[in-house]
Amino acid sequence: MIVSVFMGVSLDGFIAREDGSLDFLDFFSDPGEDYGYKDFMESVDCLLMGRLTYEKVCSFGSWPYEKPVYVYSNGTINIAEDLSQKVFQVNGMPKEVINKFSNMGFNRIYLDGGITISNFLKENLVDDITLTRLPYLLGKGIPLFRDWIGESKLKLISNKEYSSGLLQSVYQFEKKEKY
Amino acid sequence: MIVSVFMGVSLDGFIAREDGSLDFLDFFSDPGEDYGYKDFMESVDCLLMGRLTYEKVCSFGSWPYEKPVYVYSNGTINIAEDLSQKVFQVNGMPKEVINKFSNMGFNRIYLDGGITISNFLKENLVDDITLTRLPYLLGKGIPLFRDWIGESKLKLISNKEYSSGLLQSVYQFEKKEKY
């Protein structure tokens, strides 16, 4: 099973403002261009995100995902009744969660949310990361890479330049063990 | 006059380890490939760097620069006698330094050193930045973008992929005023 990250990031490494807002992404919206999002979404079986990201998505008003969403939280989360067939809670250690998904027959999962990504990176449980680098300095915000996630060499798989100035690079991690 | 930054940076945004060491750059050395360094050096009239970077360069043993080097420090720096025709000290506010260089007839200067770059970015005194992104996560170190340098949109000028996995992107800043 493959664990993938797909993330827009400012030139200085932030995925959102300090309050979680993503308004700066709109500066680079390009009608008819989804920056590979649809293709990526079709390639995954489910999403796994942290509680904060889940709450952010809930605040959008309408639920944007077709695929099942697993919210990673060891606390209690509120799932609205109309989402009860689309949103599920998982808990446990990152590796246990990955094993659970693997046993459920998933081939690829989309890992989202800054804290959750960090927790899985620390455990060497991420296979690839698609970084879409915006030509924008935010100055401060929520960083993609935080704390001590260890040192690792990656392999650049592809690199694509968009006319809006965005650069999308796919990196593959070396995995120390398979699950 | 153009102020340019030319910098290698890890995937997580660090230009050096916490102790200033750059050993991880060696993981990507490629005989015969200088990642555009010589061409860039030929395009500049001088270097402007902070004291810490100057001291780091001094520790290399042999002096690597042909072009004049200006060390930006409002304190006292030690310049060895054999460097007295190659290394000079400048002080004052960033804008005063830029004006001084402009009056000296320089067309392009190479701005180096994390703290110095930040100080000039804060004053909107940088014209372009060549970022060579390494496919490597350091986890911690000296960040390129630090503190609050303000929010700004940049223009992607070029993007080049190297077989070693390095991505070199040139970004141009919008300047609010000319000097």
User: What Å distances lie between residue B143 and A56, A118, B17, B153, CA to CA?
Assistant: 28, 18, 9, 20
pLDDT for position A20: 86
- Using one digit for the tens of pLDDT, what is the confidence trace for B64-92? 999 999 999 989 998 999 999 999 999 99
Regions in chain B scoring below 70 on pLDDT: 147-148, 175-179
A contacts of B21 (beta carbons < 8 Å): none
pLDDT for position B60: 86
Would the CA dihedral through A53, A57, A63, A66 be positive or negative?
A: negative
- List, in order of start, the domains of chain B with CATH numbers: 2-173 (3.40.430.10)
User: What Å distances lie between residue A35 and A10, B157, B159, CA to CA?
Assistant: 15, 19, 17
Determine the residue among A5, A7, A11, A18 to mutate to test chain B binding: the one whose Cβ has the most chain B Cβ atoms within 10 Å.
A11
- The string over B109-143, giving b where at least 16 C-beta atoms fall within 10 Å of a residue's C-beta and e elsewhere, is bbbbbbbbbbbbbeebbbbbbbbbbbbbbbbbbbb
pLDDT for position A176: 55
Q: What's CA B153's distance to the chain center, in Å?
A: 20
CB contact under 8 A, B11 and A139: no
Helix axes B94-103, B114-122, angle to 10 degrees: 90
pLDDT for position A175: 66
Question: What are the pLDDT tens digits along chain A (179 aa)?
Answer: 999 999 999 999 999 999 888 999 999 988 899 999 999 999 999 999 999 999 999 988 899 999 999 999 989 998 999 999 999 999 999 999 999 999 999 999 999 999 999 999 989 999 999 999 999 999 899 999 876 677 889 999 999 999 999 999 999 997 655 55
Determine the residue among B12, B154, B156 to mutate to test chain A binding: the one whose Cβ has the most chain A Cβ atoms within 10 Å.
B156
Q: Any bridge partners for residue A121, and if so which? A: none
Residue with tokens 């493959």: A2
Rounded Cα gap, residues A100 and B132, in angstroms: 39
A contacts of B154 (beta carbons < 8 Å): 11, 135-137, 165
pTM of the predicted structure, to 2 decimals: 0.91
pLDDT for position B17: 93
Q: What was the ipTM of the complex prediction?
A: 0.90
pLDDT for position B177: 54
Q: What is the 3-state secondary structure (H, E, C) of B68-134?
A: CEEEECCCCCCCCHHHCCCEEEECCCHHHHHHHHHHCCCCEEEEECHHHHHHHHHCCCCCEEEEEEC
Determine the residue among A23, A169, A174 to mutate to test chain B binding: the one whose Cβ has the most chain B Cβ atoms within 10 Å.
A169
A contacts of B159 (beta carbons < 8 Å): 159, 161, 167
CB B154 within 8 A of CB A137: yes
CB A167 within 8 A of CB B167: yes
B contacts of A149 (beta carbons < 8 Å): 12, 137, 139
- Residue in chain B nearest A27 by alpha carbon: B153
HSE (CB half, 13 Å, CA atoms) of B89?
12
B contacts of A145 (beta carbons < 8 Å): 11-13, 137, 139
